Copies of this chain bind each other. A is one copy, B any other.
Amino acid sequence: MQTVIPNWLIQRAFLTPQRPAVDDGWQKKTFGELHESVVKRARQLAGIGVRQGDIIAVLMRNSIAMVETIHALHYIGAIALLQNIRLTSHELVWQLNDSGAVCVIADEKLADLVKSDIRVVTINELAALPETDVEFQSHYHFDDVATIMYTSGTTGKPKGVLQTYGNHWWSAIGSALNLGLHENDCWLAAVPLFHISGLSIMMRSVIYGMGMYVMPSFDAQKANDLIMDGKVTIMSVVTAMLQKMLADLGERRYPETFRCMLLGGGPAPKPLLEACKEKGIPVYQTYGMTETASQIVTLAPEYSLTKLGSAGKPLFPAQLRIEKDGQPARPYEAGEIVVKGPNVTKGYLHREEATKEAIRDGWFYTGDIGYVDEDGFLYVLDRRSDLIISGGENVYPAEVEAVLLSHEAVEEAGVTGIDDETWGQVPCAFVKQKSGYSVTAEQLKQFCQERLAKYKVPKQIYFVDQLPRNASQKLLRRQLKSLIPNDDNGA
C-alpha cells in the first residue's frame, strides 16, 4: 500500500504555526508565515499556468524565496527541476529540453542564462502577478516525484534523478533516527538548495518542525558567527568548507549548542578530523548522493578517529553491500558500493535503460568503490570514474590525496590520472600550499613514498593557487588536468 500523508508544510503550519521555520539573516518566518507566503506564491504560479504534474525549473540562489518556490510547486503538485546556477547556458537548456520543463522560475540575475524558447519568469515578476484559484495537494503520495536533479554520472550525458516524496521523507527520518531530534535544532543551509545536501535540509525542516538558516552562498566567517551565537545547531559541509571554517575559527571553540557538523562529499583528511577532535567539534562523516536523497551512510563522532576515513554504517531504513565481479565481497575487499532503501530513487527521467542498469532487484549500483570492515563500517575508496589504473594496479585518488593532506605544508590536494606510455596511467597531483609554508615537489614525493606503495606515488606534482570545485565545494578531479601548464612537465 502506497503511503499517503498530509502535505508537509500545511500540516506543519497547522501543528506548530509559531515555530521558527526560515531565517536568512534579513528575514525570519514561522511555519505559519511560511505557509501563507507559499499559498500566495502557489496561486501566482497557477496564474502563469503551472499545473499538477508539470515540470518547472528552479534556477535560484539559496534564499527564502527559493524555499517558498519549491514548496509552492509542491502545493500545486508540480515537479521542481532544481538547476545548478553554475551551469553554462548550453547545459541549462539541455536539461530543460531533456526533462520537458514547461517554465523556469529564476532569480533576476540568473534569468539571462536561459537562452531558450522556454518561458522564464523571474522571481520578482512572479511576486507582482495576480493570484489564481488553484486546488492544493492536501496529501503527498510517497511514490509521486517531488523533485528532479541532474547528475553527470560516470559517463555520458547528464541524467535527471527522480526524487519522490517518499525518498525525501525516508531520508529525513533516517537522519533523525541517527542524529536525534532536539527541540531547539536549527540547521544551517550553506550548501546549495539545488543540490541534495541543501534541499534535504529544507525537507527536514518541515518534517521535523525545525528551523533552517538559509545562507545565499558559503561564508566561513558568517557560518562561524552563527554557530558561536548559538543560532544554528547543525550544519552540512564538505571538507573544503570545514577547513575554511577551522582557519577562521582560530583559537575559539564552538559552544555546546552546536551538536552536529555533517561532513559529506568524500573521505576527510586525517589532520582535519584530528583538528576537529581537538576542538571538540562533533563531526559526522557521511556518504550519500543525489540518487539516495542525501545521506545513506553516516559515521557517529565517537568513531571518527577509531574508524578513520570511514563513512560509517547505513541509516536505519537502509542497507549496503559491496559487490565484486557480481559476488558479495569479503570484509576489506574493495568492490562496487551497492545500496538499498526507501530513500533510493526510482530511476532516471526518460532513461529506462540507465535505470535498469543502475537499479537491480531494488539495489542501486552507485558506481563508487569501497569496502566494509569486519564491523560493517563503510570505507569509500573513490568514485569509479576517478579510478586510476596504473600498470594493472588500482590507484584511488582519495587515498593519495589523504596522504598529501597529512603533510603540514599542504592545504588542498587533488589527484588524477594522466596518460603514460609505460603504465597506461600514472597518478598526478595538484597541491595548494599553506601560507607560511614552503615545500618542494621532491619533498612531497619523498613524503608519499614513505607512506604509499610505489605505484601510488604521484609521478608529477603541480603547485596551484586553487583547485576546481563545484558549487558544493566538492573537488572536480576530472578538471584537474586542465591545470597542467603547456610548457611544464611537472616536477
In chain A, positions 309-346 with a C-beta closer than 8 Å to chain B are 313-314, 316-319, 341-342
Asked whether A15 is an interface residue with its Cβ less than 8 Å from the other chain, the reply is yes
Report Cα–Cα, A319/B10, bound state, in Å: 12
Return the chain B residue nearest A342 by Cβ: B3
**Beta-carbon contact of B1 and A209 below 8 Å:** no
**Beta-carbon contact of B5 and A342 below 8 Å:** yes
Asked whether A143 is an interface residue with its Cβ less than 8 Å from the other chain, the reply is yes
What mask results when residues 146 to 186 of chain A are scored 1 for a CB within 8 Å of chain B, else 0?
Answer: 00000000000000000000100000010011001111000
Asked whether A473 is an interface residue with its Cβ less than 8 Å from the other chain, the reply is no
Asked whether A99 is an interface residue with its Cβ less than 8 Å from the other chain, the reply is no
Residues of B within 8 A of A142 (CB): 1
Among A3, A143, A209: residue with most chain B CB under 10 A: A3
**Beta-carbon contact of B314 and A5 below 8 Å:** no
Rounded to whole Å, the gap between the CB of A146 and the closest CB of chain B is 15
Residues of B within 8 A of A1 (CB): 2, 142-143, 166
Query: Among the listed B166, B341, B376, which residue makes an inter-chain contact with A14, where contact means beta carbons less than 8 Å apart?
Result: B376
**Beta-carbon contact of B182 and A180 below 8 Å:** yes
Query: Among the listed B181, B316, B376, which residue makes an inter-chain contact with A180, where contact means beta carbons less than 8 Å apart?
Result: B181
Residues of B within 8 A of A15 (CB): 313-314, 316
Residues of B within 8 A of A143 (CB): 1
Rounded to whole Å, the gap between the CB of A319 and the closest CB of chain B is 6
Asked whether A208 is an interface residue with its Cβ less than 8 Å from the other chain, the reply is yes
Rounded to whole Å, the gap between the CB of A184 and the closest CB of chain B is 10
Report Cα–Cα, A15/B4, bound state, in Å: 29
Residues of B within 8 A of A4 (CB): 342
**Beta-carbon contact of A14 and B313 below 8 Å:** yes
Asked whether A11 is an interface residue with its Cβ less than 8 Å from the other chain, the reply is yes
Report Cα–Cα, A6/B342, bound state, in Å: 11
Tally A residues with Cβ within 8 Å of B. Answer: 32
Residues of B within 8 A of A180 (CB): 180-183
Among A176, A180, A183: residue with most chain B CB under 10 A: A180
Report Cα–Cα, A489/B420, bound state, in Å: 106
Return the chain B residue nearest A11 by Cβ: B316
Asked whether A387 is an interface residue with its Cβ less than 8 Å from the other chain, the reply is no
Asked whether A389 is an interface residue with its Cβ less than 8 Å from the other chain, the reply is no
In chain A, positions 1-36 with a C-beta closer than 8 Å to chain B are 1-6, 11-12, 14-15
Query: Among the listed B6, B166, B182, which residue makes an inter-chain contact with A182, where contact means beta carbons less than 8 Å apart?
Result: B182
**Beta-carbon contact of B319 and A6 below 8 Å:** yes
Report Cα–Cα, A173/B166, bound state, in Å: 14
Return the chain B residue nearest A14 by Cβ: B376
Asked whether A207 is an interface residue with its Cβ less than 8 Å from the other chain, the reply is yes
Return the chain B residue nearest A12 by Cβ: B316
Query: A5 and B173 in contact (CB under 8 A), knowing A180-B180, A181-B181, A182-B182?
Result: no
Query: Among the listed B3, B207, B317, which residue makes an inter-chain contact with A5, where contact means beta carbons less than 8 Å apart?
Result: B317
In chain A, positions 270-320 with a C-beta closer than 8 Å to chain B are 313-314, 316-319
In chain A, positions 215-242 with a C-beta closer than 8 Å to chain B are none
Residues of B within 8 A of A314 (CB): 15
Query: Among the listed B173, B341, B342, which residue makes an inter-chain contact with A173, where contact means beta carbons less than 8 Å apart?
Result: B173
Query: Among the listed B177, B182, B313, B341, which residue makes an inter-chain contact with A207, where contact means beta carbons less than 8 Å apart?
Result: B177
Rounded to whole Å, the gap between the CB of A365 and the closest CB of chain B is 19
Return the chain B residue nearest A138 by Cβ: B319
Report Cα–Cα, A318/B139, bound state, in Å: 11
Rounded to whole Å, the gap between the CB of A441 and the closest CB of chain B is 44
Rounded to whole Å, the gap between the CB of A359 and the closest CB of chain B is 13
Rounded to whole Å, the gap between the CB of A88 and the closest CB of chain B is 37
Rounded to whole Å, the gap between the CB of A282 and the closest CB of chain B is 11
> Can you add 10 more A-B contacts, CB < 8 Å, to A3-B3, A3-B342?
A1-B2, A2-B2, A5-B317, A6-B317, A6-B319, A14-B313, A15-B316, A176-B181, A177-B209, A180-B181
**CB<8 Å pairs between A and B, sample of 5:** A5-B316, A5-B342, A177-B209, A182-B182, A207-B316
Closest 3 pairs (CB-CB, A-B): A181-B181, A5-B317, A180-B181
